[in-house]
Amino acid sequence: MTAVLQAHELGRRYGRRWALRDCTIEIPAGHVVGLVGPNGAGKTTLLKMAAGQLAPTSGSITVLGGLPAAGPAQLAKVGFVAQDTPVYAGLSVADHLRLGARLNPGWDAALARDRIAALGLDPAHKAGRLSGGQRAQLALTLGLAKRPEVLILDEPVASLDPLARREFLQGLMEAVVEHELSVLLSSHLVADLERTCDYLVVLVDSRVRVAGEADRLLSTHHRLTGPRRDPDRLPADQEIVSARHTERQSTFIVRTESPIHDPAWTVSRLSLEDLVLAYMEMPAEPRRAVLEVQR
């Protein structure tokens, strides 16, 4: 199965600032991928490049094996719901469905109609007067009804209240199950992703910090608590993600494939949120010497 997204040393520069650099990543198909990171980390840049809205400055990117937005066929395979879920304020809900039907050969009119009906949206309503949640649902409907193989959503729930947020994600998950599509979803809130995603990419400071299946990430990361210890004295196969020290105690979050046998440590599992936060706090060059300075 081809990768849903494959990037090689991908970079994008705005003026002199790199919004994303050296991004090398391969995301297998069939996942709901959560792209997480603080604001300004480059999530939107990466997703826009995947959708073909933005051209890379350096490196290469392919989505489902094709160059993003290379032609109508590639565009048809990739759905994209942009940040703040833009819709045409002057057009009605029905107009939007008509737009989708006219511009997409694979348009699923029944799906669009049913979804709009299920959401209780009035087709004659102007899109500009919809609430944020309804607008997001309309944009999602457009994205789903074109029947893409992968759906890219950029912070779709950022501006929604908790209830609308849950409804949106629920609707998305139902569609994923029903239509077997891959999803790339970005958010700066891990809680949103925890419920929906089975694959995680953490992006900080325009670089990919960690990527992998959520279960696998959770099973290979551990929190070690014990008497104070210098990071240098940890086994070589334990990669330190974060380290905290008090007078007598050290707390490490480490990534390792092998079990931890050292009896001095109390080992505990991490939640996805802990894991993401640990990577977000990690300095740019995750080497032990740097951690020394931090103390």
Partner 1 sequence: MIWLTWRQFRGAAAMMGAILLVLAAVLAITGPGLAAEYSAGVASCTGEGGDCARFFDRFFEDNQASFLLVTVVGLVLPALTGLFWGAPLITRELEAGTHLLVWNQSITRARWLAVKLAVIGLAAVAAAGLGSLVVTWWSGPLDSSAAPGFALMDPLVFGARGIVPMGYAAFAFMLGVTVGMLLRRTLTAMAVTLAVFAALQILVPLLARPHLQAPVTSAFQLSQENIDVFGLPRDGSSPRVALENAIPGHTGAWVLSSELVDPSGRPMSSDDAGTIVPISATSGPCAPPSVAAPGEGGMGACLAEVNRLGYRQQAIYHPFTRFWTFQAIETGAYALLTLGLTGFCFWWIRRRLS
Q: Report if residue 139 touches partner 1, rule: CB under 8 A.
A: yes
The smaller minimum CB distance to partner 1, of residues 87 and 217, is found at: 87
Q: Report if residue 5 touches partner 1, rule: CB under 8 A.
A: no
Burial grade of 35 (CB within 10 A; 0-12, 13-18, 19 or more): buried
- Interface stretch with partner 1, choices 52-60, 108-116, 162-170, 229-237 (CB under 8 A): 52-60
- Interface stretch with partner 1, choices 21-29, 139-147, 167-175, 227-235 (CB under 8 A): 139-147
Q: Report if residue 129 touches partner 1, rule: CB under 8 A.
A: no
Q: Which residues contact 142 (CB under 8 A, 6 or more apart)?
A: 81, 87, 96, 97, 99, 100, 112
Q: Report if residue 55 touches partner 1, rule: CB under 8 A.
A: yes
Closest alpha carbon to 185 in 157, 214, 207, 149 = 157
* Binders in 68-107 for partner 1, by CB under 8 A: 69, 71-73, 75-76, 78-80, 82-84, 86-91, 95, 98-100, 102-106
Q: Report if residue 224 touches partner 1, rule: CB under 8 A.
A: no
The smaller minimum CB distance to partner 1, of residues 145 and 201, is found at: 145
Torsion region of 29: left, alpha or beta (phi above 0 gives left; psi -120 to 50 gives alpha) = beta
Q: What does the alpha-carbon distance between residue 6 and residue 215 come to, in Å, rounded to a whole number? A: 21
> 249: which strand partners?
227
Type and span of the H or E element at 7: strand 5-14
DSSP 148: -
> 243: which strand partners?
252
CB of 108 to partner 1, least distance (A): 13
* Binders in 143-202 for partner 1, by CB under 8 A: 146
Residues within the interface to partner 1 (CB under 8 A) = 48, 51-55, 69, 71-73, 75-76, 78-80, 82-84, 86-91, 95, 98-100, 102-106, 139, 142, 146
